[in-house]
Chains A and B, each alone.
Chain A
Amino acid sequence: MKKTLIHAAAIVATAFMAAPQMASAEDLVLSIGSRGYGQMVEPNIEAFKANNPGMSVDWLKVSDVPGDSRKLYVTGLTAKSPTPDVFAIDVIWAGEFAQRGWLEPLNKHFSADELGAFNQSFLSAATVDGSVYAAPLYVDGTHLFYRTDLLEKYNLAPPQTWEELIAASKIVMEGEDNPQLYGFVSMWAKIEGLFMNWLSFTGGNGASFFDADGNVAVDSPEAIAATQAMVDILHTHEIAPQSILNMRPDDARTLFQQGRAVFLMVQDFVHAPLSAADSPVAGKFDFKRNPYFEGHADGHSTAMGGWLLAVNANSENKEKAAELIKTFTAYDRQLAAALDANRAPGRSDVYTDAKLANAGILAKLGANYDVGVVRPSAQTGNLYPRVSEVMQLEITNALHQRKTPEEALGDAAKQVKEILGQ
């Protein structure tokens, strides 16, 4: 993963430096990771070229680890680099980047009707002072992936609740008696994904980041209990390996793919590599909504993320850059992404398309977005990175048992309130 980063850094550095000289007036540079949307990038660029003859588009394959690509963007954008012209941004950056003046408002390029077709909660995350700064490309939620063969072997139903998941893990681990096999793996390294994880756990226990009055509520009794459950999964039930605390999404995915884990909770993108022809678990896994805690069947346990496309405020070809975004977010291209690559559309109108009704995976994904929980990026704006860092740090303190969940979340609440001026 790091190698890709270095690679990407080199490419971006070269592109940033070389762009002014090499760019003919028509050239556009598009920056997006290859893991999340890679399958669709080339066909979409071809579709764009068909409508814009003579234009060439360079695809800058940046890292799909959000923190990594973010660093590249921050460096380039603070230096007012004109490239990339179009780039994919994590939904949590939209408000912040817009506030910093790095993004071109899309209102002059998109009609109100065109904007109305998008997923409105994602669009609102990219709206600052009434202007829209990015167009939703796809939704990437988190799900629980599980080994169907192992659960069948022990006559276990896919778990609805965390209590069931813990019990099932123990049965399988005991039955298989393989020290290399773990019950549960996920992304618990101190990264953004850990915060998503925590939102899934706490949401599944009826907790939420802000209470109804908009006050920080990260230390509510429900949140503390859910955090305690995370600690117990690791230290009491021991169904997760200690190394889960170093795992990023792909580390956890690799273990699961090697057949070394019963349950995996990460973002939807893993579906493609897990079901690839050379995957050892292809045909032996399925996925479902993230578990919730007993008595909280309506808890919002699906932590949601997603990506939007934005135009660089310093791009030398904003008109065509916006045109490229229109191609990527056109109805038929979004439908194609849903059918061909299982990417949940950023437009709401695509979900009701008849062709999607038969696409099992996507229908399943979409239903779980109803119990979605989004990160508090819209409310926190350009303070979001600090808020997320505090949460990551304090959750990690609890998972490492340096603090009890109550202490850690109490400290987190204090710091978040201070950052937000509450």
Chain B
Amino acid sequence: MNAAYSLDHRRQMTGMSFVAPTVLLIAIILIYPIIQSVVLSFGQSSIDGSEPYEFVGFAHYAKLMGDERFWNSMAVTFTFTAISIPLELMLGIGLAVLLNESFRGKGIARLAVLFPWALPTALNTLMWRWMYNADYGLFNAVALQSGIVDRPINFLGDEWLAMFSMVVVAVWKTSSFMALIILAGLQSIPRDLYEAGRMDGMSRWQEFTQITLPLLKGPILVALIIRSMDALRTFELPFNLTDGGPVIATESLSLYAYKVIFDFIDFNFGAAIVVVQFLVIFAMSLAYIFVLRTRN
């Protein structure tokens, strides 16, 4: 008895000592900043410690609730997420199914599809900003010379066009990420299911909707979680493409928080924005995880 207990105990200790460094690292780089943000959001302080921390309760959150600009950035973030994620998903599934077929040059095609994803968002975005430019941009040069329009289109200067332009960049960039995860899922579907289906006289469309899609639910949900979290935190895209403009039509939550923190140097109010954003993303992730659990 005693020996068994101590063996168990020893095993446990060994296991814990293996996990400990990772847990410590995560605690330092992940949990500490989260706690720090929450603490900051409930107080008034100066970031360099020259003023003592003063607890103010929900004051910053109350201000947030009445802050039009915060609600605007919330609406922008959700609009962007709600439009871009379904488009990315549809395109991603299409690409994955295509790349799963065997054809000549498949390797190169797979590489090409991944290219936008592999480049840093900031670089991609600057490239697109150049193409969108009303005076020197590629799109306007083509549109003007071919006579489609007689005045340049100011892609990034109109509220809805700017949002549309931002969604296009996001879809162009991240559909391939969706495709990658879904492709991995596709390859794990046993071939014989399709053979059985064909014997039963299924059409290609029936194969897709009745075999492929149901078995892809897992990978699709994973891709959705990761991409939705990304989209709800989007920063480099509006920062480099529109700087939140025109006016504040593309100012995402992250960009607003950034401006409050770095332009106004108001870490406390900024922390409140960040905490609310964290809660929103956390709630959404929980919802996704709940859906995943029940499905499996």
* Chain A residues at the B interface, C-beta cutoff of 8 Å: 2-3, 6, 67, 70-71, 74-75, 78, 80, 100-101, 179, 189-190, 241-243, 245-246, 251, 255, 260, 382, 385-386, 389, 393, 396-397, 400, 402
Q: Is the interface of B mostly helix, strand, loop or mixed?
A: loop
Q: How far is the CA of A6 from the CA of B126 in the complex (A)?
A: 11
Given A101-B48, A243-B152, A260-B135 contact (CB < 8 Å):
yes
B103 to A: closest C-beta gap in Å: 38
Q: Check B247 for interface membership: any CB of A closer than 8 A.
A: yes
Given A179-B151, A242-B157, A400-B135 contact (CB < 8 Å):
no
Chain A positions within 8 Å of B135 at CB level: 241, 243, 251, 255, 260
Q: Check B246 for interface membership: any CB of A closer than 8 A.
A: yes
Q: Is the CB of A245 within 8 A of B157?
A: yes
Q: How far is the CA of A78 from the CA of B264 in the complex (A)?
A: 13
Q: Is the CB of B50 within 8 A of A389?
A: no
Chain B positions within 8 Å of A71 at CB level: 262-263
Closest 3 interchain pairs by CB?
Answer: A243-B134, A242-B154, A245-B157
Q: Is the CB of B248 within 8 A of A393?
A: yes
Q: Check B182 for interface membership: any CB of A closer than 8 A.
A: no
Given A179-B150, A243-B134, A243-B157, A101-B246 contact (CB < 8 Å):
no
Given contacts A190-B246, A396-B247, 20 further A-B contacts (CB under 8 A): A2-B126, A2-B240, A67-B263, A70-B263, A78-B265, A100-B48, A100-B50, A100-B265, A189-B243, A189-B245, A241-B152, A242-B152, A242-B154, A243-B135, A243-B154, A245-B154, A245-B245, A260-B135, A386-B264, A389-B264
Q: How far is the CA of A366 from the CA of B159 in the complex (A)?
A: 41
Q: Is the CB of B246 within 8 A of A400?
A: yes
Chain A positions within 8 Å of B46 at CB level: 100
Q: Is the CB of B152 within 8 A of A385?
A: no
B96 to A: closest C-beta gap in Å: 33
Q: Check B47 for interface membership: any CB of A closer than 8 A.
A: yes
B143 to A: closest C-beta gap in Å: 13
Q: How far is the CA of A80 from the CA of B262 in the complex (A)?
A: 15
Given A3-B126, A78-B48, A179-B150, A396-B263 contact (CB < 8 Å):
no
Q: How far is the CA of A249 from the CA of B154 in the complex (A)?
A: 18
Q: Is the CB of A6 within 8 A of B122?
A: yes
Q: Is the CB of A246 within 8 A of B157?
A: yes
Q: How far is the CA of A243 from the CA of B158 in the complex (A)?
A: 10
Given A243-B154, A246-B157, A393-B247, A80-B264 contact (CB < 8 Å):
no
One of A179, A251, A389, A400 near B263 (C-beta < 8 A): A389
Q: Is the CB of A400 within 8 A of B151?
A: no
Q: How far is the CA of A402 from the CA of B243 in the complex (A)?
A: 18
Which residue of chain B has the shortest Cβ distance to A260 in the bound complex? B135
One of B48, B133, B244, B263 near A385 (C-beta < 8 A): B263
One of A70, A74, A75, A241 near B134 (C-beta < 8 A): A241
Q: How far is the CA of A2 from the CA of B242 in the complex (A)?
A: 12
Q: Is the CB of A385 within 8 A of B157?
A: no
Chain B positions within 8 Å of A78 at CB level: 47-48, 265
Q: Is the CB of A75 within 8 A of B122?
A: no
Q: Is the CB of B265 within 8 A of A385?
A: yes
Chain A positions within 8 Å of B248 at CB level: 393
Chain B positions within 8 Å of A385 at CB level: 263-265
B60 to A: closest C-beta gap in Å: 15
Q: How far is the CA of A329 from the CA of B75 in the complex (A)?
A: 50
Q: Is the CB of B245 within 8 A of A396?
A: yes
Chain B positions within 8 Å of A190 at CB level: 243-247
Q: How far is the CA of A119 from the CA of B159 in the complex (A)?
A: 43
A397 to B: closest C-beta gap in Å: 6
Q: How far is the CA of A396 from the CA of B69 in the complex (A)?
A: 15
A180 to B: closest C-beta gap in Å: 9
Q: How far is the CA of A241 from the CA of B152 in the complex (A)?
A: 9
One of B156, B159, B240, B265 near A246 (C-beta < 8 A): B156
Chain B positions within 8 Å of A189 at CB level: 243, 245
Chain B positions within 8 Å of A6 at CB level: 122
Q: How far is the CA of A74 from the CA of B264 in the complex (A)?
A: 10
Given A179-B150, A245-B157, A246-B157, A400-B47 contact (CB < 8 Å):
no
Q: How far is the CA of A67 from the CA of B126 in the complex (A)?
A: 18
Chain A positions within 8 Å of B154 at CB level: 241-243, 245-246
Q: How far is the CA of A389 from the CA of B244 in the complex (A)?
A: 13
Which residue of chain A has the shortest Cβ distance to B265 in the bound complex? A74
Q: Is the CB of B134 within 8 A of A242?
A: yes
Q: Is the CB of A101 within 8 A of B50?
A: yes
Q: Is the CB of B247 within 8 A of A400?
A: yes
Q: Is the CB of B247 within 8 A of A397?
A: yes
B259 to A: closest C-beta gap in Å: 8
Q: How far is the CA of A362 from the CA of B159 in the complex (A)?
A: 42
Chain A positions within 8 Å of B247 at CB level: 190, 393, 396-397, 400, 402
20 residue pairs of the A-B complex, CB under 8 angstroms, read A2-B240, A74-B262, A75-B262, A80-B48, A189-B243, A189-B245, A190-B243, A242-B152, A242-B157, A243-B133, A243-B134, A243-B135, A245-B246, A246-B154, A246-B245, A385-B263, A386-B264, A389-B264, A397-B247, A400-B246
Q: How far is the CA of A50 from the CA of B248 in the complex (A)?
A: 51
Chain A positions within 8 Å of B151 at CB level: 179
Which residue of chain B has the shortest Cβ distance to A243 in the bound complex? B134
B129 to A: closest C-beta gap in Å: 8
